[in-house]
Every structure is written in C-alpha cells, then in structure tokens.
C-alpha cells in the first residue's frame, strides 16, 4: 500500500477490522472478527533482478479484487452507507440471488461487498 495507515483506517472504518500490532512505520495487522487477520504493509520499492534472493521465483500473480460477504443484507441500506462514506458504489447484481457493490480502496484495489457470506452459500 502507498500509506498503510490510510488503508488500515479505511478497512477498520468500513469493514470493522481491528488494528493490532502496528509497528508505527510500515505495517499493521488487522483482525477480522471470527475469520483471522491480514497484514497491510507500505509498498516496497522494486529491486533489480540481481538483488533478488537466489532461487526465488519472480512474482507473477495478480489479484483482481477482494470480495467480502456481509449479513444481514439490505441492498438500499448498503448502497446508502457506501455513498455516505463517499465511495461511489458500482452495482454488480447477478440474477435474483446475488447482490453486490464494488468500491475502490485508497490504493485503487477493487473491494466487492456482497450478500454472499460463508453461511449463505449453497
């Protein structure tokens, strides 16, 4: 992330994730209630190939977006809250059962918030 503190505040405020173990300079762990945790770090500067660790494969993966299910779900209330926070929600509704909105976090990551929580999946 460009600014780990800004990103952590975004996820803590929007998702309710609890900051833990902030080192004050470059990273924080966010507890996700009843799920686990994630670590948010400041973006590292790229290094030249000659500086990478021997035997380490180059990074090739790409994350398209993060999806998070919430319950209870109310489409109008979720949209209103996202707008209240200035997030410009983009609807992504599939059929009668799947409802979601996409928003962008402070670093431009696509966060999808949906009605599909682990307990609601068939």
Going along the chain from its start, the domains and CATH numbers come out as 1-44 (no CATH), 64-122 (3.10.180.10)
6-60 residue pLDDT tens: 999 999 999 999 999 999 888 999 999 888 898 888 876 555 555 455 556 666 6
Smallest CA-to-CA distance from 110 within 43, 63, 59, 76 is with: 63
Cis ω for the linkage preceding 72 (within 30 of 0): yes
How would you class 42 by CB atoms within 10 Å of its CB: exposed for 0-12, middle for 13-18, buried for 19 or more? middle
Which comes out higher in pLDDT, residue 46 or 5? 5
């Amino acid at each position: 992330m460009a600014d780990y503190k800004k990103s952590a505040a975004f996820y803590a405020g929007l998702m309710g994730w609890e900051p833990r173990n902030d080192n004050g300079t470059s990273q924080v762990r966010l507890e996700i209630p009843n799920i686990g945790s994630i670590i948010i770090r400041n973006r590292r500067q790229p290094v030249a190939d000659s500086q990478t660790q021997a035997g380490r494969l180059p990074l090739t993966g790409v994350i398209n977006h993060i999806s998070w299910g919430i319950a209870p779900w109310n489409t109008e209330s979720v949209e209103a809250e996202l707008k209240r926070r200035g997030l410009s929600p983009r609807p992504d509704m599939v059929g009668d059962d799947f409802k979601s909105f996409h928003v962008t976090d402070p670093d431009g990551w696509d966060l999808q918030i949906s009605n599909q929580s682990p307990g609601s999946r068939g």
